[in-house]
Structure 1
Amino acid sequence: MKPMKALLLGTLLASALAGAAPLKTDPARSSVSAVFKQMNVPVEAKFKNFSAQIDYDAAKPAASKASVEIQTASLDLGDADMNKEVAKKEWFNSAQFPKASFVSTSITPAGAGKLTVAGTLTIKGKAANVSFPLSTKTEGGKQVFEGQLPIRRLAFNIGEGEWKDTSMVADEVVIKFRVSAAP
């Protein structure tokens, strides 16, 4: 009987120490988009294919972690020719770099329903440490995470050659996201 109690206690202890619980993303209620200015006109383009792995414990957000992978060729600008253009070498170079990724290094509380997330963003083979605010709420029994991450596209070599000129496409890009997930 003692070995059984020890096994049960060990299992409970391991569960308690594990902290954050993995959530399953609801793709139909989740989105990732890039917002930028083209010829000074705001454009929002959605990425059609991405995945997010989130281990989240609202009581212990510091034990949480997140990672996101985006298929760069899935950016939808609303025009098939433009979609093909941004997959080319000068832009995302999707043949060589099919995925952009974010991996959290820390998640800290920043007030009611607010978190600060830090991590590594990798696009087109270039990695950068980033930090951004995140809001979290429960909606329809699911945990919803929303945020925006401003970046400079040229820091990631997005828009090479003649496209380095920011008079046509601005350097500033905001990555907007909403991830809905449940246990």
Structure 2
Amino acid sequence: MRALRYLALAGLVATAGTATAAPVTYKLDPGHTMVLFSWNHFGFSNPSANLGNVDGTLVYDEKDPTKATVEATLPLTGLDTFVPKLDEHLKSADFLDAAKYPTVTFKSTKVTAAGKGKLKVAGDLTVHGVTKPVTLDVTLNKVGPHPMMKVQTVGFDATTTIKRSDFGVGAYVPNVSDEIKIHITTEAHDASAK
């Protein structure tokens, strides 16, 4: 009987140990990540674009999300406004100057809880060679095994608003809005999975 109790206790201890999630390093999935940004054009329309081809990592601990970190690089070759001439113009020296500054980067500096499934992720955003602090309002969509890939996956949505003139990209302000609204949706997969 005593041996049975020890066996049950050992089982509980083992289960408790596995229930404590350790931080997992995830690789951002460029096929399921969109960084959408929009602006106002002379008051007539609100065009949008996507910055695709993300490369980055996310370290996430389900038990303590405030320990999360994220780093992402977005090549301007992935910029898509769905209008090729506008893509060229935004990549020109008038705006992003992709020849000189070929990437946009984000690196988190602090994560704080903001309610159930909500986080505030502060970090450094670099655009056009200028680095400024920004805060993302983040919603955890889901964490768990991906049903098709059979790998641990996490998904988030995030929003923020920046002023492009803060990054030295102020052409045509105020006719073309200084304020840029950003919406990010992403999936990331366990980087250790084969």
| Other-structure match for 1:165 | 173
- In structure 1, the residue matched to 2:188 is 181
Residues 51-130 of structure 1 mapped to structure 2, 5 A cutoff: 51-130=55-134
**Greater mean alpha carbon deviation, residues 135-144 or residues 64-73:** 135-144
Amino acid at match of 1:39: F
Instruction: Give the secondary-structure state (helix, strand or coil) at the position aligned to 1:23.
Output: strand
Q: Is the 8 A contact 2:158 2:183 kept in 1?
A: yes
- How much does 1:63 deviate? 1.9
**Runs of 4+ residues over 3 Å off in structure 1:** none
Question: SS at the partner of 1:84?
Answer: helix
TM-score (norm. length: structure 2): 0.77
Q: Which position in structure 1 is the counterpart of 2:29?
A: 26
In structure 2, what is the Cα distance between the partners aligned to 1:23 and 1:97? Answer: 27
Matched with 1:155 is: 166
Structure 2, unaligned runs of 5 or more = 1-21, 147-152
Q: Which amino acid aligns with 1:165?
A: V
Question: What is the rounded CA distance, in whole Å, between the counterparts of 1:176 and 1:120 in structure 2?
Answer: 17
Displacement of 1:62 in angstroms is 2.3
TM-score under structure 1 normalisation? 0.81
Would you say the 8 A contact 2:35–2:184 is kept in 1? yes
* Shift in Å, 1:148: 0.9
Paired residues of 1:154 and 1:164 also in contact (CA < 8 A): no
Q: Write the deviation string for residues 43-73 of structure 1: whole angstroms up to 9, x where unpaired.
A: 1111132223101112111221001111124
Q: Which has the larger radius of gyration?
A: 2
RMSD of aligned alpha carbons: 1.6
Aligned length: 161
The residue matched to 2:88 in structure 1 has which SS?
Answer: helix
The one-letter code matched in structure 2 to 1:27 is: P
Secondary structure (helix, strand or coil) at the match of 1:24 reads strand
> What 5-or-longer segments of structure 1 have no aligned partner?
1-18
- Structure ranking higher in strand proportion: 1
Following the alignment from structure 1 to structure 2, what is the Cα–Cα distance between the partners of residues 115 and 50? 21
* 1:106-161 deviations in Å (ceiling 9; x for gaps): 112211110110111111111111122100021673311111110001111114xx
Counterpart contact for 1:133–1:147, Cα < 8 Å: yes
Deviation at 1:25, TM superposition (A): 2.2
* Conserved? CA contact 1:45–1:76, under 8 Å: yes
Residue 39 of structure 1 and its aligned partner are, at CA, apart by 2.1
> Does structure 2 conserve the Cα–Cα contact (< 8 Å) formed by 1:143 and 1:180?
yes
Measured after TM superposition, the shift of residue 26 of structure 1 is 2.4
